[in-house]
Structure 1
Amino acid sequence: MQYRKLGKTGESISAIGLGCMGMSFAYGDTQEHNGQESLDTLELALDLGINFWDTADMYGQGANETLLSNILTKKRDKIFLATKFGFRFHDDGSYYFDGSPAYMKQAVEASLKRLKVDVIDLYYAHRVDENVPVEEMVGAMADLVKEGKVRYLGLSEASAASVRKAHAIHPIAALQSEYSLFTRDVEGSILDTTRELGITLVAYSPLGRGLTTGTIASTATLSDNDFRKGLPRFQDGNFEQNLQTVTALENFAREKGITVAQLSLAWLLAQGEDIVPIPGTKRPKYLRENAAAADVHFSQADINTIQQILDQQAVAGSRYTDAGLKLVNR
């Protein structure tokens, strides 16, 4: 495994991290059904040198943090742990964002208890609250650093302006935002800002929520409770158009002797040393495949070919529903 520096912290994190959300949330069957496989995947991650693990208190309403605690209690010193706060659930299962200092204080204590750790390495605000000034939210998060409960701070899906405001209050080590061959919103002002300030860009959903894994031939194969069925990019017509692009990328990946998932991750790594993708999986075989992408190197000609494939047709459908889009880039 290759390693990269986290912002200006001096910490070394694996160039490819592990997104743990799918083990407990969003993508159909969760760890309730295959908890042992998820635990095996977590153990294998350490064997492969993947020390950067990403979770959040909302994943399975705390279940994912509890799952990780099974490994953390035994191997805490081997893991650079990131979790997030802010999303709260209504009784009907719907959720909303609360970035208030009062809620944050409750959330961090609950996370520490579920994770069974004394300190969280990287603590993210899961979004920016339109009702709470980002300076107020980050100021309260900074208090957690002073108290020794959190080591470094991060934001997720924040605008360039919010990143600047937050960084002026307390150093921001990482900005986690969606970034992949199919989602490139961060390119431009956001990435320019993180680079100016020395902030790592942690790329979530780097495989396009499974689009660029080559494993989804039809949305009919997705479970009824898989939230991707509600995303515009996976709707009829849009999905088929996007699959054409995936097929073209698969053909090029085959020429290079790699999988399309490895191509996707290697492309992200090639965008700069400050980019760290966190592909999610609960299956050991896909974890091995993802980890091997760290050893793939592209020439400029390869990068140009990938761009030519992407230029052939636009991505069909937005990455979130209208409601989800209201929560990003603010």
Structure 2
Amino acid sequence: MTQQRGSLNQCPRIREPQNLTGVSEFHLLGLSEDPDLQPIIFGLFLSMYLVTVLGNLLIILAVSSDPHLHTPMYFFLSNLSLADIGFISTTVPEMLVNIQTHSGVISFVGCLTQMSLFILFLCMDDLLLTLMAYDRFVAICHPLHYAVIMNPRLCVRLVLVSFLFGLLDSQVHNLITIHFSYFENVDIANFFCDPSQVLGLACSDTFTVNILMYFVGAIYGFLPLIGIIFSYYKIISSILRIPSSGGKYKAFSTCGSHLSVVCLFYGTGIGVYLFSNKSSSTKKGTVASVMYTVVTPMLNPFIYSLNNKDIKSALWRLHRRAV
């Protein structure tokens, strides 16, 4: 691997500054360096990528083509599907190209771009799941005011705000990374430029970096999660007051798919970013990151379509029109 700014084993605080250079590129180690496994990994991830894009596109087409689904809940769902397509497209195509070219080299600028898009779509997923929880809260706890509160103009503004917050978070991470002139190493133990791992390689005060990462994570991760938990606390309290069991089941069924996606998304994401060692180069963290970067976007369309009669009906009508 060529390096204009060099691979570093030590930081400037240890070696003389005049003997050091920065980095112009990173090396993505991927899931495995075993050449016999590369075709299997390529085929598996290509299949998952195609299934994810096709599944989420079908959700978007079903929602946009069926007037019965022109409601806030499905408007947020279609935007979630769009964010999922962008999310997986940020990492997997680059990985597939690296496998085919037998190279894991990514330029510094390319790494920053991938990080920026990754964080943007990650935050959009996070905030859109929060908006969907709020939508269910208003629908179940304030049904008489639902149409007034969740009007189309507000829904569009909320999605726009989620995009802007995601863009802000991505630029904060990029500015932090650009600020660092030197890195301890250029090897990233993942198949994409994981922001936490890239910042973990920086020659800087790691304590300050970690505090900043946890602070940003609390704003963009735990605050929306707290909002989701509070919404479902109010939702469950309202459902339990419904006298008929049929009414309770109907109310719970509208939330089941969303709850499944929330648990899958937050469970894998929190496990990677909070309970793993950011400086670790083990494959466990890499495999765990596959869960929320690839598997979660792939499963979302199945979760929403298999448990949702409206989506299945819309897809069936879409199929009949196509044939």
- TM-score, L = length of structure 2: 0.24
State the structure with more CA Rg: 2
Bigger helix share: 2
- TM-score, L = length of structure 1: 0.24
Larger RCO (CA within 8 A; separation ≥ 6): 2
Bigger strand share: 1
